[in-house]
Structure formats: C-alpha cells, structure tokens
Chains A and B, each alone.
Chain A
Amino acid sequence: MKELEYPFDNEYILKKKKSLKKQLLENDNFIEKNIAILGGSTTSDIKLILELFLLNQGIKPKFYESEYNQYYQDAMFPNSELEEFKPDIIYIHTTNRNITLYPTITNFKEEVENLLLNEYNKFSNMWDKLKSTYNCPIIQNNFELPFYRLMGNKDASDYRGKVNFITKLNLKFYEYAESNQNFYINDINYVSSSYGLEKWADEFYWHMYKYALAVPAIPSLAFNISNIIKAIFGKNKKAFVLDLDNTLWGGVVGDDGVENIKIGPEVPAGQVFSEFQTYLKEHKDLGVILNVNSKNERENAIAGLNHPDSTLKPDDFITIKANWEPKSKNIVDIANELNIGVDSLVFVDDNPAEREIVKQQVSGVAVPEIDIPEHYINILDKSGFFEVTTISKDDLKKSEMYKENAKRNEMLSSCANYDDYLKSLKMKATIKPFEPIYMARIAQLTNKSNQFNLTTHRYTQAEIEEIANDEKYIKLYGKLEDTFGDNGVVTVVLGHIDEKILHIDLWLMSCRVLKRDMEFAMMDALVKKAKEAGIEKIKGYYYPTPKNGMVKEFYSLHGFEKESEDNEGNTIWNLNINNYENKNKFIEVEE
C-alpha cells in the first residue's frame, strides 16, 4: 500500500490508522505471528502502527503488550500469560529514559565502569532469561542519544558524559548481538538521528503521555521494527531489476552515444550515478541479484555498461533484458529465469509511466517511487527491502551461483539427452542430520522456500536447533556440488516418528537445483534412516498454497499412495518402505 511505503507521511498514517487497517484487512493472504511488546514507556500507538506495517508486509500480528514500564518484570518473573501467548517474536522497547543510573560529575572512572556493567547486565540477564524461557527471536532497541548535553561537546568524550555513557552501552549491546544468534538490534540511535533528534525527543510527549519519543515519529520507529520482523520471517526481497538510461547513468545511450552518457567523477550529473552504481554493487556483494530491464538495443546497453567509468559491468548482472518488449513482460521472464517469485523483485526505473505499468501488470513486485537521481539511494535504502538479519556464506556467493546455473544451462543445450547432462555435471551430495554450522541456513530456507515446499511450515532457528537435538525427529539437510560449483545447502527434510510411522513435517528444496534428481537422493537417504530407526511406513503431507503447485504430485512420483484429500486440496500419502528401491542414479552421496 502506497501510504505505508517509504517515503511515507507520518502524520497521515497516525490520523488514518483505523481506515488504513480496514483496507489492509481486505486482503486475506497473511501469515499469523504472535508478537510480544515489552515496553519501558507507553507503547499503545507503537503497537497499532506496527500492526499496519506488518499487515502491509503480509504478516498478521497478534500482540501481547506489557503494562506501562513493566518490561523487566514481565521478562524476569514467571508470567503465565506470556507463556500461554507463545511469542514468535519479543520486541523490547526501551529507551534512554530506562537507564537507571547515569554517571555524575563527581564519579571516578571505575565507578562509571561499574555503572556501565550494572546497566548492561540488567539487560543481558533479561535477554538470557527470555531466550531460555521463550526460545524465540528477540528484538531490542539500542539507545538514542540524550536530548541535552550537560557538558556540551565534552559530553561525547568525557567518561562522565551521558553521550559517552550511552555510546559505550550501545557498543556492549552490539557485542551481545554479535555473539548471540536470534538477537537483533533495532537501531533507534540511527532512526532518531535520521528523523531529527530534536523532534524525536520532544518532551511534550513524555510529560503528557509517557511516550519516550514524539508521537509523530512513531511510524518511523514502527516501520523500522517491521523491516526486521519481515526479514526474520523470510519476506525480504532478493533481486533488483534495473532500468539503464537515466537510472544507472545520465542520458540515453541509444540517442546520445556511449561517449556522451553521464557517468563518472568529472561532472556532478555523472558522479551521482557513479555513487548509485557503487551502492548497487555493494548489494551484489551482499547476495542481492542484479538484473537489467531496459528499452534499448542490446549492443547499446552492453556498450553503456562497458563505459570505462561504469562501476557495474555486464558481468555483474545475472539477466540482461535490453529489448523493446513491455517491461512488465521482461520482469516476469526474469523471475522465471531466476526461479524466484515476482514478489521478490524490486523494480527501479526513473520513468513514472513505466513504473505505473509494471505496478498494474505485475502484482507483488516492489516499485519504489524514486524521483531524482540524488534521492535514489536514500529512497531504496530507507525502504528496507534487503534488511539483513543473518549473513550466510551462501548469501555472499549468490551471484556466483546464479552464474554457474547459466553455465549449466549452456551445457544442457549441448547434451544429447537429459541423462547425459546429469551425468556430465558429476554431482556430489552431502546428506546428513542437521549440523550446528548449518542451522542458520536451514532456518532461512524454511522461511524463504515457497515453490518446492510440501507443507510450507516456517521454523525459527531456535526451533530448528530444538528439533536437531530431538531423537523423535529424523532431520536431514542436503548440500549439492557439481562440476560448475557448490550450491550449498539446498534441501531440508524433517519428520517426526510416532509408533513406527514417520510423518514428514517438512520437505523443501531450493529452486536453484530443480530437475537435478536431488529429491531422489534425499528420499533414498530418508528411507535408509527410517529403516535404521525401525520404521515401516512413511506418511507424506501436501498442503497447497498459491505458490507450491509444482509439488502437488510429488509423493505420487515417489511411489506413495494417496490416502485422502480434503476440500481444500490437502492430501495425505503413504509409502511402505520394506520394498523400497533406491532411485538416485546420478549423484554420488556422502552420508
């Protein structure tokens, strides 16, 4: 919804929150999540506005909200209401108003160090307690800067200054975040400075209503929280689809000639595009896929990207669509070639008419309203499309992997038949029970995979870790390598054992290894494990979603017999494993 996309109008959202909520609820394709807000100040409107942003991201929240300033008590003492609530996320809204003891001018250095430790320990004990009790992701505010500086500039550098104290405390929070998974900092220090600390800290709202930030700033805060939450639940975007003329460089390469496009440090109009290209290139390094969608002759597009001052080179892109087709068609083609949904794409184009057509023709694709070149970075960055929660090794190699896929496609076209192609790939798989180093990746896959996913159960990393240690579960991950490269962990299967029957709770595979027979290798391994555990029968479940039609007949293909099908198309399947014969022919498996 446009009203909730950056740049949004904070006051408008606050004023219209009731009618915006009604409009959002007209949609019914939501995932439901329980979110506990533990507040150190008033949180009422934070909850209501956060709800809007989450609904807009496809997440329907149920809230637990602590009583005024009861965050610490709620966390540290037995709390049956919160336990019953079973939070999927705990958000701790504390601010510098919750710091118990600040240094005073008469303090010695060691005393201040003790104050710092006391304050930090109060929080870290609380996080540890929450983790052990609720085992769910925790989102914690850092601290915004104080709204007055007793010593003026010295407040920053002197150990007795509040600015100094808060800065050190924040650093300790970051250390905890670095060494604890499932713990995320909501950077209100950045958001408040971006909003304007003076307006953010308007005391009126504190003294009147015990809001620790100005009410008009709440949408900025809530949007920031919603970005972390949607990223945790796998709703980040995955790829940029970029226009060229006047988006990646100034001018029109086909008309002006490659020597006249504006790019590079010589003139302001070129420098602004260089900086934007660098920003995009940094995304590529982060694992975001870059693509081109431009109305151009292909050779002109390539010539532009080969301009000596162009930071982005043709090689940085996975697909380059430079043609005269409608851009909406190109976008759908790009999504198909990458094997990802159009709702994983961000379309960046300076032309409002092109944006409008794409918005109307391709529902789900993000189309930010970039206006003038010097705003491109700000608008994309504040939109939070690619909010990072964890950086897996796979993310860092993603562009490489898509390139390898392109090479595989070339190989395929040179092979006489598909079996020859599979043989030529010289595939090697590792299929093993969940291992600690892959927990983050496994959780990420359960939240990201939509198409090749039989039940679409989402798991947090904490839940995956629990299952890994639970003997009632058979749980396997699969990693696939071939002559062109390593695909990393691409498939996850887990099921629980109940009296000699294995119920498959989750079967998913990344679409980047479709049609490589990896699912057969997984089935072979699963059956083997099941036999070792004395199991006689495997039960498979398929729950249809708008996205997973491709695996509707999955169990039938693997020799299962259909037991039942209900009105919604949910099916249950059985396989007697006594006479199972291995099906994988092309992949060498290490177990």
Chain B
Amino acid sequence: MELEDIFEGLNEVFRDVFDDEDITVNASTTSEDIEDWDSLEHINLIVAVEKKFGMKFSMGEVTTMKNVGEMAEIIKSRI
C-alpha cells in the first residue's frame, strides 16, 4: 500500500474517532493539532487504526511515535 493510500485511510479513522468531518492529517500532524486528541482518546485512535489496517502496534512503537507520519511509516512496513 502506498503512503498516499495510508493517509487516505488515516483520514477516515481520525474523522470517525474525533467525530469531525473536516480533519485532514499529514505527516507532521501531532496531538497538538487536534483539539480532542488527549491521552485517553489516543488509545481509541490506536485501536481504530489497528482495526482499519489489520495490524498491531507494539508498546515501543506507541510510546515513541512522534507524529502521524511516523505512524504511517510503521503501518507501511507492516502490511
């Protein structure tokens, strides 16, 4: 899957989880950029992304991920 398609999929997930149709993420998007993205919502985001792409993040990955770009790279390497 190309990075472009992954971002497409991530947009869908972010819009569902934060219930906001206007969200568009890119490689540099972080939790600073989305109002409701706190640590409790983070877990739901991770679960939804895992479900969407049929993969699992490790604890190490989740704790070091800096932005949506790194998330997309991990997904790309896994599927």
Contact = CB atoms under 8 A, between A and B. Distances in A.
A11 B56 CA distance: 14
A215 B47 contact: yes
A18 B17 CA distance: 8
Given A204-B59, A207-B59, A208-B62, A14 B40 contact: no
A417 interface: no
A15 B44 contact: yes
B40 A45 contact: yes
A199 to B, nearest CB: 11
B36 to A, nearest CB: 9
Given A16-B16, A18-B18, A11 B43 contact: no
Contacts of B62: 208
Interface string B1-39: 000000000000100111100000000000000000001
Nearest to B36: A18
A134 interface: no
A18 B19 CA distance: 6
Instruction: Give the residue among B47, B51, B58 with the most A Cβ atoms within 10 A.
Output: B47
B17 A208 contact: no
A44 B48 contact: no
A11 B47 contact: yes
A411 to B, nearest CB: 60
A15 B19 CA distance: 9
A14 B44 contact: yes
B19 A205 contact: no
B13 A208 contact: no
A211 interface: yes
Interface in A1-38: 11, 14-19, 22
Contacts of B58: 204
A18 B44 CA distance: 12
A19 B48 CA distance: 15
B59 A208 contact: yes
Given A11-B51, A15-B13, A45 B19 contact: no
B44 A215 contact: yes
A234 interface: no
A512 B76 CA distance: 65
A11 B47 CA distance: 7
A148 interface: no
A14 B48 contact: yes
| Chain A, interface SS category | helix
Contacts of B39: 209
A44 B40 contact: yes
B50 to A, nearest CB: 9
Contacts of A19: 16, 19
A15 B48 contact: yes
A14 B59 contact: no
Nearest to A203: B59
Nearest to B20: A18
Nearest to A44: B40
A15 B13 CA distance: 8
B19 A11 contact: no
A336 B40 CA distance: 48
B20 to A, nearest CB: 9
A77 to B, nearest CB: 26
A15 B17 CA distance: 5
Contacts of A209: 39-40, 43
Nearest to A22: B19
A204 B56 CA distance: 10
Contacts of B19: 18-19, 22
A216 B19 CA distance: 19
Interface string B50-62: 0100000011001
Contacts of B44: 14-15, 17, 45, 215
Given A44-B40, A45-B44, A216-B47, A15 B16 contact: yes
Contacts of A207: 59
18 contacts: A11-B48, A11-B51, A14-B47, A14-B48, A15-B13, A15-B16, A16-B16, A18-B18, A18-B19, A22-B19, A204-B59, A207-B59, A208-B59, A208-B63, A209-B39, A209-B43, A215-B44, A215-B47
Interface of B: 13, 16-19, 39-40, 43-44, 47-48, 51, 58-59, 62-63
Q: Which 8 A-B pairs have the closest CB atoms?
A: A18-B19, A11-B51, A15-B48, A44-B40, A15-B16, A19-B19, A215-B47, A209-B43
Given A11-B51, A207-B59, 12 more contacts: A11-B47, A14-B44, A15-B17, A15-B44, A15-B47, A44-B40, A45-B44, A204-B58, A208-B43, A208-B62, A209-B39, A215-B44
